[in-house]
Every structure is written in C-alpha cells, then in structure tokens.
Amino acid sequence: MRRLRLAAAPHGVLLLLLILLPLVAAAGPAAAKAPAAPPAPPNVTTAMAKGGCKAFADLIAASPDASSTYQSAAGGGITVFCPTDDAVRAFLPRYKNLTADGKAELLLFHAVPVYYSRGSLKSNNGVMNTLATDGAAKNYNFTVQNEGDAVTIKTAASGDAARVKSTVVDADPVAIFTVDAVIEPVELFKPAPSPTPAPSPAPAADAPKASKPAHHPAPVVADAPGPAATDSPPADQKKEAKKSAAAGAPPCVRWFAAALAAVAMASTLA
C-alpha cells in the first residue's frame, strides 16, 4: 500500500528528491573521504595514431608485449618518440624480418620511462635508456643530441640521426613527439658497415691480424656543460661560431645566410 502511494507520488516530489539527493550526497562524509582521482593518462597508442604515427601505433597494437608495456609505463612518466607513417613505411621490410621478440624490443626502444617536456629534452641530452632496456646484455640505449635548434636521436647502428619533429602530447606524465626515422638499436641491427671492402682471402700467416672495425660509441659527454666549461655558455659559443663564420662574407651574403637560418628555424619549430 505504501509502495503504491510512493509510486503514485506527484511528480513534483520526485523532482525535489532528484535535486536534493546529489546535494545531500555531496555534503555527506562519504564525499569528503572519496580521493580525488588523478586524471587518467591519455591512451598512448590512440594519441600517437591521431598525431601522425598511425602506422607505428598499429605495430604496437599488434604486439601484446609492447602494448601492455606502453600502457603500464604511461602512468609513471613516459616520453615516446614515434616515427611518422612515412618513416615506418620505408622501414617495414626490415621490421618484418625481425622475430616477435625483436619486433617488441624495437617498438619499446622508441620510448623512455621518464617524462621530458619539449623544453627539458633540449637540456637533457646524452645517453638514455629505453623501455626495451633490460640489463647490460639488452642495453637498448640511444643518444639524444642538440643540433642547432633541432633535437636528434641516434645509435651506432643508425646511419642518419632521427630528428624530433612535432609535439603530439606534452602534459606531465606523458610526452609524445614524432621523429622522422625509425631509430635502429645496435642490439638488432649491425652498425653501419665501414666503407673498406673485405680483403680477398690470403694466407693470414704474416699479415697482421685484421682487427674488427672499432664501434665504440663516441663518448657522449661532449655537449654537457661541464665544470671546466669557459664562462660563456655553449649556446653563445655556437652563436659566436656562426657569427665568425659569416663575418668573412660580404654583407649581402650575410643577409642571405641570416634569412636562410630564420627559415630553417621556422621550419623546425613548425
């Protein structure tokens, strides 16, 4: 009987209840206890796909190892360098040649388990470990360097350094930048071959033992402003170098060089 009456209650009462209930709930102790959940990090693969790295995101989605590691790393801070679709297309034949483990490692090699904003990336150059790094045997590191206004990434195996292009996401704890080439880890790809052809087979008796080409990566401290650095910061030194390089040229050439530099700078910022 009571239930019936409630069901038959005028709409005005129900409306009042609908308005009051949330207010009561919000003021109650339960609401005070509820922890303010931090905003979930963006879905990394979805963001990549939207930002010009659809092909790379598809490769991650096809590798269960890679996709679970990417997603679990996102919450703790991650910086992803995703190759553009053109770069992936050019690399695909060599990618398909890799084992399933090799594929996952190559994909994980394109992210660092630390959040770097675009600005801090420029000052944090040097050797970085990646999501693929697993002890000394699987070192999977690469070297981040500044070249003028550009940030580049390379390994001893990559011919040309990959250049960091656009910013897809840059919001702590997740940064995603596009790069114009797939970065090749030395663990999966042979270092660029030396131009000297192998000598024809000959009695090795008195010939000096052919030494393997040394592939020790150059020490990476070059760019770091150490305590021994002179009083002018590196950026100023570079400017000075540019200035003195242009100083010998006639004024019109200097203007042209300056204009070229401005265009180059604008295109790297674009």
Ligand X SMILES: *[C@@H]1O[C@H](CO)[C@@H](O)[C@H](O)[C@H]1NC(C)=O
List contacts with ligand X (CB under 6 A).
43, 45-46, 71, 93-94, 97, 127, 139, 141, 186
Nearer to ligand X, 48 or 121 (CB): 48
User: Where does 88-180 show beta strands of DSSP type E?
Assistant: 111-112, 126-129, 141-147, 150-154, 162-171, 174-179
Nearer to ligand X, 114 or 127 (CB): 127
Give the list of residues 6+ apart from residue 145 with CB closer than 8 angstroms, or none: 125, 151, 152, 153, 154, 161, 223
- CB of 2: closest distance to ligand X in angstroms? 46
Question: DSSP class of residue 198?
Answer: P
- CB of 247: closest distance to ligand X in angstroms? 38
Q: Which residue type is seen at 25?
A: A
Note whether 109 and 183 are within 8 A (CB).
yes
- CB of 97: closest distance to ligand X in angstroms? 4
Tokens of 220: 């990476």
Nearer to ligand X, 97 or 120 (CB): 97
Nearer to ligand X, 7 or 221 (CB): 221
Residue 186, classed as helix, strand or coil, is coil
Nearest to 142 by CA among 129, 158, 161: 129
- CB of 23: closest distance to ligand X in angstroms? 33
Length of the chain: 270
Q: Which residue has the tokens 């990618």?
A: 95
Nearer to ligand X, 66 or 165 (CB): 66
**Could you tell me whether strands 111-112 and 141-147 are parallel, antiparallel, or unpaired per DSSP bridges?**
unpaired
Nearer to ligand X, 59 or 165 (CB): 59
- CB of 93: closest distance to ligand X in angstroms? 4
- Between the alpha carbon of residue 262 and those of residues 93, 126, 133, 179, 188, the distances in Å are 37, 27, 38, 22, 38
Distance CA 237, CA 219 (A): 21
- CB of 140: closest distance to ligand X in angstroms? 7
- CB of 196: closest distance to ligand X in angstroms? 21
Nearer to ligand X, 46 or 267 (CB): 46
Residue 89, classed as helix, strand or coil, is helix
